[in-house]
Amino acid sequence: MANGEVLVVVEVQKIHDADEMRLYQEAARAQFGRYGGSVIARGGEAVEGEPPFGGVLVQKWPSAQAFRDWQASEEYRPLMERRRACAEMRISIVPIVI
């Protein structure tokens, strides 16, 4: 593993409230850099499989723990509630092996 670094892959499966989702995204961007996260890719085009992928966001983190610390922080808690109310997502932590 490359210094314990991980990728966090977020697939947006369904958005219930686009305006709230935009507010969530703006606020999350303002926070996660302070915890060591950075966005390295977003978007994507489904090429195989059903149902097709939703929008994908890939973040790079110094460790899985750094990501988990942000997710568990008091600062992020209201954003998590907002995210869960306005969208359905799948989130995976993927170790970097190169």
Q: CA 51, 57, 61, 65 torsion: positive or negative?
A: negative
Joined together, the tokens standing for residue 12 give 């947006």
pLDDT, position 9: 97
Kindly tell me if the per-residue pLDDT of 1 is higher than 50: no
Q: For residue range 47-75, what is the model confidence (pLDDT) as tens digits?
A: 888 777 788 999 999 999 999 999 999 99
- Nearest by Cα to 29 from 63, 89, 79: 79
Please tell me the total count of domains within the chain. 1
Q: For residue range 2-18, what is the model confidence (pLDDT) as tens digits?
A: 579 999 999 999 999 99
Is 1 inside a domain boundary?
A: no
Is 16 inside a domain boundary?
A: yes
- The residue range of the domain holding 85 is 6-46+53-95
CATH of the domain at 19: 3.30.70.100
Q: For residue range 14-45, what is the model confidence (pLDDT) as tens digits?
A: 999 999 999 999 999 999 999 999 999 999 88
Is 40 inside a domain boundary?
A: yes
